[in-house]
Amino acid sequence: MPKVAYLDNAASTKTDPKVVEAMLPYFNEKYGNASSLHSKGLEAKEALDRARKTIAKSINAKSEEIIFTSGGTESDNFAIKGIAFANKQMGNHIITTSIEHKAILNTCKWLETQGFETTMLPVDNEGFVSPEELEKAITDKTILLSVIHGNSEIGTIQDLQALGEVCKKHKVYFHTDACQSYTKAGIDVKKQNLDLVTINSHKIHGPKGVGALYVKQGVKITPLFHGGDHEFKLRAGTENIPGIVGFAEAVKLASKKDIERITKLRDKLIEGVLKIPGTRLNGPRGEKRLCNNTNFSFMGVEGESIGGYLNLKSICSSTGSACSEALLEPSKVLMAIGLTHEEANGSLRLTISKFTTEEEIEAVLKELPPIIKKLRRMSPIDKVVKHVLPKNN
Amino acid sequence: MYSQKIIEHFTKPKYVGEMDNADGVGQVGNPRCGDVMKIFIKVNNGVIKDIRFQTYGCIAAIAASDMVCELVKGKKLDDALKVTPQDVASQLGDMPPIKFHCSILGMSALKEAVDDYRKKSEK
């Protein structure tokens, strides 16, 4: 089996060996419960406090504003349901966007069965939410805006500050899901007027099963889990100390240098893939795109098949094609930026990390063009053959 | 998610390609839904002598198209039409339930091709 080129880092990342090393003592040496009052408990409590401080600092928050959770989905549920139920007397209207993760969309859908109303803001053809559209959507019943910071599919990075100003003006709570952007694009809760921020560990080379929600001091929120007094009484349950220590270590290891390197690899990949005829890049270019995200559509071919052939060449990718979904509907994000069903069905997402090598990018650029060519030859769609493929190709 | 058999037919389809002077051609599906299948047949004395397909679609769609060709080649037209989508799916091993429609689509394309042939030969 040749070496795998792993280009699905938006799905999950390799845990950094340094993170694993930092976690190890917390399994069989410093295994105490952070709530216990003895020496073993104290060791765990100290590690918990240190980790909390590291993470708080990374987004310009206070330690007491970081609530550890089991990951992005829990943090999103906690933010949306927690605000909704704690602020019922203020209103029942939640605003979100048409390009959110399912953890937001399905939470909002469920809240609709509980008497809440949601508005989904449209986005432009690069996936940006407009502050003017937001302002128009706000009513006197609006309690919360939730917007994904860095989009998981097309990499669009929202202007949180501009959206935050609108929220501040209208006294609407502002939540962002920053799972994809955390440590990659700047989050400053004060500057961006954020009340709630979802972050997680396994997208940044930390372990799975741990994340956090930033909850600004004074924000009225109801916990999801009831039980002990953990996490400032906002999230009951014995803290996952090895996971939390690993999460903080991953944050410490994130560097500007890595971002610069990843950005270069991204742009090399984009440039190379766009040389294939009949290909488009989905999402914006440059600084407003997540440094590790690429997403393409290939005319006349179906995304799952591309992924299937790439996998045979030991390249891991992802698609927004209808075929990859149980409901056989293409990605809502790709449809929201105005792609046709055909374009969305022909999409391929390749996402990079600090562990991605130049060779892995080159492997994609070598293997992908013949795969697209082969699939187009298999395809009965005439327009592809006629318009996209040069003669004698 | 996919059986070894599906991957085999996806990776090395035996019947993929266009056919010149086909006696019958059938096309079903819609790129909107992610699957379009086209089947070409050559018929001699009521028997499918040769068959080819072109498919735009997922791994299961390509594998199912190839399997339809394999199952009906050499069969009399009426016998070929007796092959069911279930036969196609079970020959491919474990077809994921959400992909079962690929087998249905494959057999529909064949039926269209046979109808096309019959219409042409009536003239």
In chain A, what residues touch B105 (CB-CB under 8 Å)?
none
Q: Name which residue leads in pLDDT, B97 or A54.
A: A54
Q: Of A154, A141, A152, which is closest to residue A180 (Cα–Cα)?
A: A152
Domain ranges of chain A: 17-253, 255-376
Nearest-Cα distance to chain B for A221, in Å, is: 40
Which residues 6+ apart lie within 8 Å of A294 measured at CB?
A: A155, A266, A269, A270, A273, A281, A349, A350, A351, A352
Interface predicted TM-score (ipTM): 0.91
Which amino acid, A57? K
Q: Does B62 contact A322 at a Cβ distance shorter than 8 Å?
A: no
Which residues 6+ apart lie within 8 Å of A220 measured at CB?
A: A83, A86, A87
Q: Which chain B residue is nearest to residue A301, measuring alpha carbons? A: B56
Q: Does A326 contact B57 at a Cβ distance shorter than 8 Å?
A: no
Element (H, E) at B41: strand B35-44
**Tokens 């494959």 -> residue:** B106
Query: What's the pLDDT band for B31 if we cut at 50, 70, 90?
Result: confident
Closest CB from A308, A328, A379 relative to B56: A379
What residue ranges define each of the domains in chain B, with the CATH number in brackets?
A: 4-118 (3.90.1010.10)
- Residue of B25, B28, B58 for testing the chain A interface, max A β-carbons within 10 Å: B58
* pLDDT the model gives residue A385: 52
Q: Known catalytic residue: A323?
A: yes
Chain A residues with CB under 8 Å of a chain B CB are 300-302, 304-305, 308-309, 312, 321-324, 326, 328, 330, 340-342, 345, 378-381
* pLDDT the model gives residue B19: 94
Evaluate if residue B11 carries a pLDDT over 60.
yes
Closest CB from B7, B34, B59 relative to A345: B34
Which residues 6+ apart lie within 8 Å of A321 measured at CB?
A: A302, A303, A304, A330, A331, A344, A345, A346, A347, B34, B58
Helix, strand, coil % in chain B, rounded to nearest 5: 50, 25, 25
Closest CB from A308, A312, A326 relative to B98: A326
* pLDDT the model gives residue A116: 98
In chain B, what residues touch A323 (CB-CB under 8 Å)?
34-35, 57-61, 99
Fold of A255-376: Aspartate Aminotransferase, domain 1 (3.90.1150)
* C-alpha pair distances (Å), A197 with each of A178, A269, B30: 7, 30, 41
Q: Of A3, A2, A12, A1, which is closest to residue A318 (Cα–Cα)?
A: A12
Contact A104, A96 (CB under 8 A): yes
Bridge partners for A200 per DSSP: A211
Nearest-Cα distance to chain B for A371, in Å, is: 11
Q: What is the CATH architecture of A17-253?
A: 3-Layer(aba) Sandwich (3.40)
pLDDT (tens digit per residue) in A36-65: 999 999 999 999 999 999 999 999 999 999
* pLDDT the model gives residue A330: 87
Evaluate if residue B81 carries a pLDDT over 70.
yes
Q: Does B57 touch chain A (CB under 8 A)?
A: yes
Q: Name which residue leads in pLDDT, B89 or A2.
A: B89
Which residues 6+ apart lie within 8 Å of A196 measured at CB?
A: A79, A83, A173, A174, A175, A176, A213, A214, A215, A216, A219, A221
Q: What percent of chain A has pLDDT over 70?
A: 95
Which residues in chain A show pLDDT less than 50?
1, 391-393
DSSP secondary structure letter of residue A3: P
pLDDT (tens digit per residue) in A157-167: 999 999 999 99
Quote the strand ranges of A135-210, DSSP E: 142-148, 173-177, 196-200
Q: Which chain A residue is nearest to residue B63, measuring alpha carbons? A: A305
Evaluate if residue B1 carries a pLDDT over 90.
no
